Structure 1
Amino acid sequence: MAISFDKALGVHPHTMLIRSQRAEILASNIANADTPGYKAKDIDFGQAFKAAKSAQLSGNKMVRTNEKHLSGGTQLNNGVEQYRTPNQADTGDGNSVDIQVERNLYVQNALEYQASLSFLSGKFKGLKKALSGQGG
């Protein structure tokens, strides 16, 4: 009987990928806190998760625009990366990054990533036990 990793691992691989991409975006916001005209971005987790699940169900195919391009890969934030509505008034340079908000969101995202990693680790431990015949 074949093991379906999609069923065995559940949503956790998708959530980890989304959290990883969100960490990159939040880190970019923090790095550009003093860049004039920079607009803070974020990922809508709900939209990204729906996109990841639909890509999984549709086979996650890619279109190559040139025969020399490599095939494969996954990009989850198609259409789900958005500019954040600023919480503060414009400071005159057009930058919409609130450094305290970005730091808090980054820490929260890191905690959620660690939670998904812990759940995924538990799933792998369970699979390892099942494969080695240590059920129960």
Structure 2
Amino acid sequence: MIGKLDDYLRFNETALSLRSQRQQLLASNIANADTPGYKARDIDFTAALQGAMAKSAGPAGTLKTTSPSHLNGATGNPDILPNGTPVQYRGQVQGAVDGNTVDMDVERNQFADNALRYEAGITLINSQIRGLMAAIQGGQ
């Protein structure tokens, strides 16, 4: 029974988790807008979500390891998120003398867009839970 509930909520839970990680990357870009040599980072959300859903679909393709550190490239690597999503670097839109690639207009737009989509995800999960509660209570 719990497995079916997990399956029912998995998509939105995975999407919210990725949105949260993306928000951290975007906030880091904004915080480092004046750091010389800083390269703006982001993820391909669609590819990351597809990859995360494929991994959560089942244990098929999972390799057996004898140590927790085997084949774990995500540990301590700033170019890979904890869930294995590769972090990409944005190209330089406008030349900067210090080598910084953060464009504040782009970052603010991406930050606001991601925040709105995160809120929409929360709303969808709340709706799913309300629907489950109505089914459990018999629609009273």
TM-score for both structures, normalised by structure 2: 0.79
Tell me the matched-pair count: 125
Partner residue in 2 for 1:71: none
Report the identity percentage: 40
Partner residue in 1 for 2:54: 54
Partner residue in 2 for 1:80: 86
Deviation for aligned residue 1:10: 5.2
CA contact (8 A) 1:47 1:80 kept: no
CA contact (8 A) 2:43 2:85 kept: no
Report the secondary structure of 1:16's partner residue: helix
Q: Is 2:115 aligned against 1:110?
A: yes
How far, CA to CA, are the matches of 1:133 and 1:116 in structure 2? 26
Among residues 94, 99, 104, which one is paired with 1:99 in the alignment? 104
Report the secondary structure of 2:42's partner residue: strand
For structure 2, the residue ranges without an aligned partner over 5 or more in a row are 71-80
For structure 1, the residue ranges without an aligned partner over 5 or more in a row are 67-73
Report the secondary structure of 1:11's partner residue: helix
Partner residue in 2 for 1:64: 68
Partner residue in 2 for 1:27: 27
CA contact (8 A) 1:35 1:95 kept: yes
RMSD: 2.4
How far, CA to CA, are the matches of 2:23 and 2:85 in structure 1? 17
Deviation for aligned residue 1:79: 4.0
Among residues 101, 114, 126, which one is paired with 2:131 in the alignment? 126
TM-score for both structures, normalised by structure 1: 0.81
Deviation for aligned residue 1:106: 0.2
CA contact (8 A) 1:16 1:113 kept: yes
How far, CA to CA, are the matches of 2:136 and 2:126 in structure 1? 15
